[in-house]
């Protein structure tokens, strides 16, 4: 090794050794980092029995594999603890929130969700830990112990959302604090089954919801949501200048959520067709005494400001109960629009109307589009060939080619019965009309029982021509 005064990093090296402890043998690893610092670590108890060692036990080979992996991480500078950032996870999370708000321009609803999840699920476990000390194994253990507010285990989808947020915090810390490795990068996401099933209202249920609404404005909101697919925040931000009665369209320009006015979710303005029923409902609202100016809100609060979205959702829930309808979400009114329109318009137009950023989001509605011609395609694929009449006047057969090859020489109308003996009774297996060279009577498929025959395997019979011949 070069002297410490050379200023050069040394290649990492180390070895494993076994120690006989009071409770049995234990494997240790001792290695030197490129900075010159020596580390000794207890790996785990030694496996003394033959065969595969239990979980947490080590053989010499497993201990050497662990050391080899550790030294390789040290060479790449990715070993936890090699780089001292001096930053706690709480500091990194605060920097990530600033970055999401100022640099990325995330919407208020997204920021509110980030802050809530960091406070409830990330800070209690990692808040005061140094970034470089957090390992992949600790992240996996944290994920396995995640529970909801009521103490019930979280769903795989919720756990994946927390892991993605944690991954984002560490990925940003790699840029800002020169963190050498992201411990969340190697954590596999849980599988989340997707059935593709969507709960939606029928047209009759939509009208029942409208009739039972607590006010005329709420009734117009429910009807507009179901017939245009606007999100709740887009409905709250809708102004009279965005309602084009002459063009029968509604222009979606803004979204109100989290107490702030922002652009629609896709970030783009879009136009949605306005059905006559929606136009009539909005026309009735336009006849009210106030809040009807071009810049006024179509669905205002009591004082003309933005409507309280949470209060609207509560009134919606009470309306569902009074109308004896299924307890579907307010957002399912938007799904109702998607499932109904996919049956009338192509998927690209539905995507534009609903403001989906990608076509994949719209395609979840495709299986709601009725396609009766599909049944005809299946029927044609499995159609049986047409029946044709035997040229000599015999029974009808399928197709014009024999299903089985004929046997023997042509006869004068004789029919050969091939038989086998079973418990003293003979059954018809096949019947060939040798003079016509095609498969004959379909009754042979029924293996009809005949009277008791002698041991002989052939007998006289007649074909359609009436001629007789010994087979």
- For 346-371, the pLDDT digits (tens) are 999 999 999 998 898 898 888 888 78
What is the per-residue pLDDT for 178? 84
The answer to whether residue 456 scores a pLDDT higher than 60 is no
Average the pLDDT over 293-317 and give the result: 95
Residues β-bridged to residue 130: 88
Q: What is the DSSP string of 249-288?
A: EEEE--EEETTEEE--TTSS-EEEE--HHHHHHHHHHHTS
Of residues 464 and 368, the one with the higher pLDDT is 368
pLDDT tens-digit series, residues 215-268: 999 999 999 999 999 999 999 999 999 999 999 999 999 999 888 899 998 888
Give backbone dihedrals phi and psi of 42, rounded to 5 degrees, phi first: -80, 125
- Claim: this prediction has a pTM higher than 0.85: no
pLDDT band (50, 70, 90) for residue 447: very low
CB 101 within 8 A of CB 146: no
Triad 438, 443, 444: Cα angle to 5° = 65
Which domains does the chain show, CATH number per domain?
Answer: 9-76 (no CATH), 89-176 (1.10.150), 203-368 (1.10.443.10), 391-469 (no CATH)
pLDDT tens-digit series, residues 32-45: 887 777 889 999 99
3-state secondary structure string across 404-455: CCCCCCCCCCCEEEEEEEECCEEEEEEEEECCCCEECCHHHHHCCECCCCCC
What is the per-residue pLDDT for 2? 40
Q: What is the C-alpha to C-alpha distance for residues 284 and 306, in angstroms, rounded to an integer? A: 20
- Show Cβ contacts of residue 117 under 8 Å, excluding neighbours closer than 6 positions: 161, 162, 165
Q: What is the C-alpha to C-alpha distance for residues 269 and 35, in angstroms, rounded to an integer? A: 56
pLDDT tens-digit series, residues 408-430: 444 444 444 444 444 444 444 44
pLDDT tens-digit series, residues 375-407: 888 888 898 877 555 555 555 444 444 444 444
What SS3 class is residue 29? strand
Q: What is the C-alpha to C-alpha distance for residues 468 and 471, in angstroms, rounded to an integer? A: 9
């Amino acid at each position: 090794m070069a002297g410490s005064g050379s200023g050069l990093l040394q290649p990492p090296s180390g070895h494993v050794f076994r120690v006989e402890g009071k409770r049995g043998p234990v494997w240790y690893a001792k290695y030197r980092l490129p900075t010159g610092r020596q580390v000794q670590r207890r790996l785990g108890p030694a496996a003394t029995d033959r065969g595969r060692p239990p979980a947490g036990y080590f053989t010499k080979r497993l201990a050497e594999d662990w050391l080899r992996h550790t030294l390789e991480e040290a060479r790449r500078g990715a070993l936890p603890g090699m780089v001292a950032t001096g930053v706690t996870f709480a500091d990194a999370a605060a920097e990530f929130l600033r970055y999401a708000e100022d640099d990325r321009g995330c919407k208020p609803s997204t920021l509110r969700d980030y802050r809530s999840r960091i406070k409830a699920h990330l800070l209690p476990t990692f808040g005061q830990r140094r970034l470089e000390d957090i390992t992949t194994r600790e992240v996996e253990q944290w994920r396995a112990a995640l529970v909801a507010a009521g103490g019930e285990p979280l769903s795989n989808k919720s756990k994946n959302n927390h892991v993605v947020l944690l991954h984002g915090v560490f990925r940003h810390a790699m840029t800002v604090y020169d963190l050498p490795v992201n411990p969340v990068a190697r954590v596999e996401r849980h599988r989340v089954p997707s059935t593709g099933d969507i709960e939606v209202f029928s047209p009759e249920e939509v009208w029942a919801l409208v009739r039972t609404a607590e006010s005329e404005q709420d009734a117009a909101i429910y009807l507009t949501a179901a017939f245009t697919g606007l999100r709740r925040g887009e409905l709250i931000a809708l102004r009279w200048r965005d309602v084009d009665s002459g063009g029968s369209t509604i222009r979606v320009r803004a979204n109100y959520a989290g107490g702030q006015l922002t652009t629609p979710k896709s970030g783009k303005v879009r136009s949605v067709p306005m059905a006559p029923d929606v136009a009539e409902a909005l026309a009735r609202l336009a006849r009210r005494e106030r809040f009807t100016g071009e810049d006024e809100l179509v669905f205002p609060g009591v004082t003309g400001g933005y409507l309280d979205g949470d209060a609207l959702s509560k009134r919606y829930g009470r309306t569902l109960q009074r109308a004896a309808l299924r307890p579907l979400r307010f957002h399912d009114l938007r799904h109702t629009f998607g499932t109904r329109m996919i049956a009338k318009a192509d998927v690209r137009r539905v995507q534009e109307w609903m403001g989906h950023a990608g076509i994949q989001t719209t395609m979840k509605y495709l299986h709601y589009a009725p396609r009766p011609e599909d049944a005809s395609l299946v029927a044609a694929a499995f159609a049986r060939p047409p029946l044709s009449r035997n040229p000599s006047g015999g029974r009808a057969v399928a197709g014009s080619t024999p299903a089985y090859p004929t046997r023997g020489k042509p006869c004068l109308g004789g029919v050969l019965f091939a038989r086998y003996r079973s418990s003293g009774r003979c059954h018809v297996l096949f019947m060939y009309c040798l003079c016509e060279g095609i498969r004959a009577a379909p009754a042979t498929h029924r293996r009809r029982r005949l009277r008791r025959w002698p041991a002989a395997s052939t007998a006289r019979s007649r074909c359609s021509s009436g001629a007789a011949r010994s087979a």
